[in-house]
Every structure is written in C-alpha cells, then in structure tokens.
A and B are shown apart, each in its own frame.
Chain A
C-alpha cells in the first residue's frame, strides 16, 4: 500500500542514479522512501556518532544522539534545502540536542548520566597513553558547551569557521572567539603534556 508520504510526494529526481548526492537521498526520504536511510547511515553515521561521542564523552549518549539525529533528519526531510552540506545539518542537530539536553530542555534522550566513559582501553598501546587520552577527554569535557562544540568541530572535524558558524548558527567572528578561548583553556589545563 502506498504510504501517505508517497501521496503528496513532489520529488521528481532520477531514482536510477547509482550514486545520488545527499540532497537527492534526503528528497527521496521526504517522499517516504525509507530504504535510502541505509545509504545515508552508511555515509554519515560514523561521523555523527564520533561527534556525539566527542561532545558527551559517553558512548550510550552518543548512541542515543546519533539515533535521534537520523530520526529528526527523517521527520524534517521535507524542509531540507540543499543550501548547506547534509553533514552541516546533521552536526547542527547533534549539537543542539546536546545543548538542549544539558540545559534541561527536550528531555527525549537518556542523557541523565553524562559521566565520561573511560577511553577504549583495548585500543591503547600503554597505560601512559590511556592516561593521556583520559586527560584530554576530561579537559575537552570541561569546556563550556559552545566552546567545546567549536573546538571539537575545529580540531576533530577539521571544519572551517564558516562551517562551524553554520552549525552553531552564529557568526564567524563569534566562532573565532569561541575557538580561541577554548584552545586557551585547553593549553592551560594540558600544559604539562607534550606530544609523545
């Protein structure tokens, strides 16, 4: 049976494209074609999950955030306009979910316990590297939320100020200020560590 989304589907894009761009996939998603979610997840889930983990330091929270981000992508797909890259939208959803949750709004996630996970020990080469990883994680988690988001997006996602500004819905000048203050605090809190 045809789903409701098919009834008012306005998408006219070519479904035979073997490697459709993100914008086409989202358009098909808006038409109720849930099967494209698999491809969107393949393309974007790892990055979304890593961002969620870096922002929360908690794997369970990252699981919930990543799930919620893609559900929200589905429910808002009809409003998506490909003026910005899809990862920008997904990153914005994750950042806003984290900020909302920490401010006590929209308690839709199981983020009540956001104590940072210990780093994945099996991936560490030595107790020393484990300890250093833990130090970095705690230092990043200690940043104010918008500074943390800006630094994570800049350092770990390698985004430009312009892209970060789109995600945080602010100006590039504001992003520059957030990044500067964030790095300054990290420089202070990790002053005793030198690169290995």
Chain B
C-alpha cells in the first residue's frame, strides 16, 4: 500500500473504522507514516493549549438590540411599506376568496321539468297539469283541501 497522504493524516482520527483499519495496517509497517501521524497529533495537542476566556453573559444586551432593530424596522418607511404590502395581499386574498366562494345563480326550472322530476304522471287523482297548477296556485289554508295529519 502507498504511504498515507497528507489528507489521510489530517483526518485520520475522524475516519470510520474500516478506513482507519485499512490505513492502520500500513501504519504498523511504516515508520515514516507513523512519525507523520504522531507529529500531527502533537500539533493538535499543542493547539489545544490555547486557553480562552469564558463567554460573557450577553443575553440582555443582544435582546435589547433585537428589540431596537424591531422597533426601527416597524416605524420607518420600510415598516409602513410592509404594512401596505400586507394589506394589499390580504385584500387581494379576500377578493379572490370571495369570488371563489360566491354562490352561483341557479337556473330556474320550467314547470314541465319540475313535474317530470317529481314523476307527477305516476300519481293518482289528477293529471300532471292539474298538480303542476297547484304549485302555482296553492289552496288557501283552511279551505278543506289540505291533507289531514
């Protein structure tokens, strides 16, 4: 097997087990690659000696800045533009929704169509013309022509 590349060495400790095992079999037989890997691990360890302060508590100041930005964005012309845009969009959506949900006008049925749909010809006691006429001139309540319950 060829020697480990620089890229192999830099990433060696992050490689998956299979890849590491493959390279490991070479490392066990190659002093040059072992030294190169050891040197890189030493460098990483030295870099780890850089000690830095603990992060300060900044929550309050950052939240205050965010609130200030929010107020600024909401009060300037951009804010008014956003309001106007939102209104236009809302109005457009409402108009479109109104058209879509508006009831469509029903086409008036003719007396013949009503009669046919009710199968009035099948009923006893009168012709379809006579029954159809009842729809147009219903009897007065109490005239004795209503059906008994």
Name A residues whose Cβ lies closer than 8 Å to a Cβ of B. Answer: 3-5, 7-8, 32, 34, 37-38, 41-42, 45-46, 49-50, 53-54, 59, 62-63, 66-67, 70-71, 74-75, 117, 119-120, 123-124, 129, 132-133, 136-137, 140, 155-156, 160-161, 176, 179-180, 183, 186-187, 190, 193-196
Where chain A touches its partner, the secondary structure class is helix
Query: A186 and B43: CB pair below 8 A?
Result: yes
Determine how close the nearest CB of chain B comes to the CB of A161; give it in whole angstroms: 8
B117 CB-CB contact with A under 8 Å: no
Cβ contacts under 8 Å, B46 to chain A = 132, 136, 190, 193-195
Instruction: Please tell me if the beta carbons of B43 and A187 are within 8 angstroms of each other in the complex.
Output: yes
Task: Name 5 interchain pairs, CB-CB below 8 A, sorted by A.
Answer: A41-B63, A54-B50, A74-B70, A120-B54, A186-B43
Taking a contact as CB atoms closer than 8 A, the residue among A132, A176, A190 that contacts B43 in the complex is A190
4 interchain residue pairs of minimum CB distance: A195-B45, A49-B55, A136-B50, A120-B53
Which of A50, A74, A117 interacts with B55 by CB under 8 Å? A50
Stretch at the interface among B78-86, B94-102, B105-113, B121-129: B78-86
CB distance A133 to B86 under 8 Å?
no
Candidates A4, A50, A132, A137; contact of B82 at CB < 8 Å: A4
Q: Does B31 contact A (CB under 8 A)?
A: no
